[in-house]
């Protein structure tokens, strides 16, 4: 994984901890296993890449235990050709802040 992607993942994990109080090593990837009952309880609002952080947050809100299973990210020529860049991380952060602010004032 490139240094930029490592830095982006660490930054997004830090933002997830800062906004939602959930400490994970990688908020955007990794393997997370949820039971069907847990999935049915989770009420997520987002539909973009920020979905990963929101699911962790919603699980914490419901007292669902979060256990991490590290994975190694593999970037193929196809995945690199999709044009994902650092702006994705910036957009994720903006949407996470927006979601948090909305929830605070609901």
Q: How confident is the model at residue 85 (pLDDT cuts 50, 70, 90)?
A: low
pLDDT for position 45: 84
Locate the domains of the chain by residue range. 3-104
Average pLDDT over residues 34-44: 87
Q: What does the alpha-carbon distance between residue 57 and residue 51 come to, in Å, rounded to a whole number?
A: 10
pLDDT for position 1: 64
Q: Which of 104, 100, 103, 102 is nearest to 18 (CA)?
A: 100
Q: Which of 106, 98, 103, 88 is nearest to 5 (CA)?
A: 88
More confident position, 80 or 55: 55
Mean pLDDT of the chain: 83
Global confidence as pTM:
0.75
Query: Is the per-residue pLDDT at 79 higher than 80?
Result: no
Q: What does the alpha-carbon distance between residue 36 and residue 80 come to, in Å, rounded to a whole number?
A: 33
Q: Are 86 and 8 in contact (CB under 8 A)?
A: yes
């Amino acid at each position: 994984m490139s240094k930029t992607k490592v830095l982006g993942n660490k930054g997004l994990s830090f933002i997830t901890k800062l906004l939602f109080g959930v400490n994970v090593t990688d908020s955007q990837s990794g393997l997370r296993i949820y039971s069907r009952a847990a999935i049915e309880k989770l009420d997520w609002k987002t539909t973009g890449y920020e979905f990963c952080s929101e699911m962790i947050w919603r699980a914490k809100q419901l007292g669902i235990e979060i256990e991490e299973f590290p994975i190694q990210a593999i970037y193929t020529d196809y995945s690199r050709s999709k044009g994902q860049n650092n702006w994705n991380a910036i957009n994720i952060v903006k949407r996470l802040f927006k979601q948090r602010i909305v929830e605070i004032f609901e």
